[in-house]
Amino acid sequence: MRLFLIVILAIMATVMAAQAHAGTGKPLCAALEGRTLTWRGDKARIVSARPVAAASGLPAHCDVSGIMHERQGRFGQAYAIRFHMRLPEAWNSRMVFQGGGGSNGDIGDALGHVSSTGPVALAMGYAVISQDSGHDNATNSDPARNGALAFGFDPEARADYGHASLQASADAAKAVIRAAYGHGPRFSYFVGCSKGGQEGMAFARRYPDIFDGIIASAPGFALPRAAVAEAWDVQAFASLAGERGVVQVADLAKTFSAIDFDLIRGVVLDACDGDDGLKDGMVNDVVGCTDEKVLLRLDVKTCDGAKADACLTPAQVTVLRRVMSGARTARGQAIYSGWFWPASIHAPDWRMWKIGSADGQVPPLNVLLGAPALASVFTSPPTALGNPNAMLDYQLGFDFDRDTSKIYAVADPFTRSAWQDVGARSSNLKAFKARGGRLIVPHGESDPVFSLKDTLAWFDAVDTENGGHAADFVRVFPVPGMCHCGGGAATDRYDMFAALVDWVEHGKAPNAVVAKAGPATPWPDRSRPLCAYPQVARYVGGDVEKAESFKCT
């Protein structure tokens, strides 16, 4: 009897303790705090494991910070891969890897921003990881070597940024999950846009066994080439601003006015808006909106005499032709893809990248981000720059016949080229396909950073590689009018993640995903189906503001 009472009391104590910790994340954290986890010859140190109570729509979870691959790099820099995880108490046995952005160097919030319409992944019960890709913007910044881009001067840090930190972080995440929950995830997903899209592509190509499903939005899988294209665009717009050598960054904003961009948008819509069966301010048939259609009407808008609001100067039209055709060598060999004529060329999201804010106060992101990235990370050997005008001078002095080769070059101490480290544009996804992986690639038609034309050409190559059956495991969704990862006159609010999960876990391949327009667009709450390429959303009758009035054909 006494033994029975002791057992009962022990059980009650355990239950009471569990109830006391319920909704706090403490049990998970207790399994991790202070530990060094090891697996297959690698290891990670848990720096902190902090219980977080349920609040503000987020569940009780353990907030984990970890570090791995600590080392002393070049120029006295101390490098490491730092990762951030959130482990919910009510776990759904699934994991989400949250992709990075830009030059990374930020550990991320690990909430799992998987869609523009639904809750974050943590709120749905997913364990989430984000990571800094092997460098820290706060501690690894060096003003003598392009500030936060200084990691580009270190070969291992550049490789970590390009791909190497990805596998290490994903393996660490699964080790943490096993330690906390007693078993690994049943399904694993990756979601990212821009640089995060490049990371998704790198996982699919280099590390195909890690994820069941990947969303690689607006993928920067050809980042080094796209950075050269940024210099190409800067030179094109600078040709309108003055003689080379005397152009200032603020001058670029003056090359096209808001009225000019509205005029160009009107030309694009006049040429292509009705091709999907309805004139509604959107170009759904993106591929059908050819250069010939647009240029025919743009020529009509070219000024015969002095510049006026109703026309563009011949020099402006020449620059537009040059930009849209894409970066090329003197012999006409393509360096990077051309572009679709952007239906949202008038949007601040587009002009901010190409020529900067309308008031000239914010420099073009093509200069502010593109120049130091090209100089530090995407060419060998790297080049130290200075202030924005020095960045502009670097791009204006870039020789596309001579200097483009630097993205493919090796130079001591770099034994791999920037293209080898960072490039992730490959049509060979056989291993990812063989393991049953599924890949969704949304991409805005008006993206000013990475060309949708390049993404569609890549899909066509994948399709050829797979005998015309790429859609068995890859779907590309062009988003008409959307700029880089969002924005523009577009239905840019959608949930590709739900479609991916349905495909991975239930075998339902997505042919169309409903998207809505936001309040800042000309048509708030308008809905449209986003169609898997090469299908196009065509009007079949009914309410012109509703997705059900369109069919993907």
Per-residue pLDDT at 77: 96
Count of domains in the chain? 2
Are 42 and 181 found together in one domain? yes
The residues with which 37 forms a beta bridge, in sequence order, are 44
Identify the three-state secondary structure at position 312.
strand
- Residue 243 falls inside a structural domain: yes
Per-residue pLDDT at 11: 34
Which residues are the active-site residues? 194, 447, 484
- Residue 3 falls inside a structural domain: no
What are the mean pLDDT values of the chain's consecutive 10-residue runs (553 residues total)?
36 35 71 95 97 96 98 97 98 98 96 95 98 97 95 98 98 98 98 98 98 98 98 97 75 96 98 97 97 96 95 97 97 97 97 94 95 97 90 96 98 97 98 98 98 98 98 98 98 98 98 97 97 98 98 98
User: Domain end: 371, 392, 421, which one?
Assistant: 421
Distance of CA 184 to CAs 172, 210, 395, 429, 524, Å? 11, 12, 47, 25, 42
Per-residue pLDDT at 26: 82
8 A C-beta contact, residue 319 and residue 255 = yes
* pTM of the predicted structure, to 2 decimals: 0.94
Distant-in-sequence contacts of 248-251, Cβ < 8 A, 24+ apart:
248/389, 248/392, 249/356, 249/363, 249/364, 249/367, 249/388, 249/389, 249/391, 249/392, 250/356, 250/360, 250/363, 251/360
Type and span of the H or E element at 88? strand 78-88
- Residue 261 falls inside a structural domain: yes
- b/e per residue, 287-298, with b = 16+ CB within 10 A? eebebebbbeeb
- Residue 552 falls inside a structural domain: no
- Residue 28 falls inside a structural domain: yes
- Residue 527 falls inside a structural domain: no
Are 246 and 367 found together in one domain? yes
Are 32 and 162 found together in one domain? yes
- Residue 153 falls inside a structural domain: yes
Half-sphere CA count of 132, side-chain side, radius 13 A: 24
203/212 Cα distance (integer angstroms)? 11
Are 174 and 233 found together in one domain? no
User: Domain end: 421, 439, 456, which one?
Assistant: 421
Token output for 427: 């049509």
Are 170 and 231 found together in one domain? no
325/337 Cα distance (integer angstroms)? 8
445/43 Cα distance (integer angstroms)? 42
Type and span of the H or E element at 385? none
326/73 Cα distance (integer angstroms)? 37
Are 168 and 237 found together in one domain? no
User: Structural domain of residue 137, as residue ranges?
Assistant: 20-185
Q: Where are the alpha helices (DSSP H) in 449-491?
A: 452-465
Are 362 and 414 found together in one domain? yes
Identify the three-state secondary structure at position 78.
strand
Are 291 and 390 found together in one domain? yes
State how far Cα 259 lies from the chain centre.
30
Per-residue pLDDT at 438: 98
Per-residue pLDDT at 388: 83
Kindly give, in sequence order, each residue whose CB lies less than 8 Å from that of residue 126, ignoring residues fewer than 6 positions away.
88, 91, 92, 94, 95, 96, 112, 189
Which of 171, 163, 161, 198 is closest to 79 using CA atoms?
161
Which string of DSSP letters, residue by residue, matches 346-375? TSHHHHHHHT--TTS-S--HHHHTHHHHHH
- Residue 219 falls inside a structural domain: no
Are 247 and 369 found together in one domain? yes
Are 394 and 327 found together in one domain? yes
Per-residue pLDDT at 15: 34
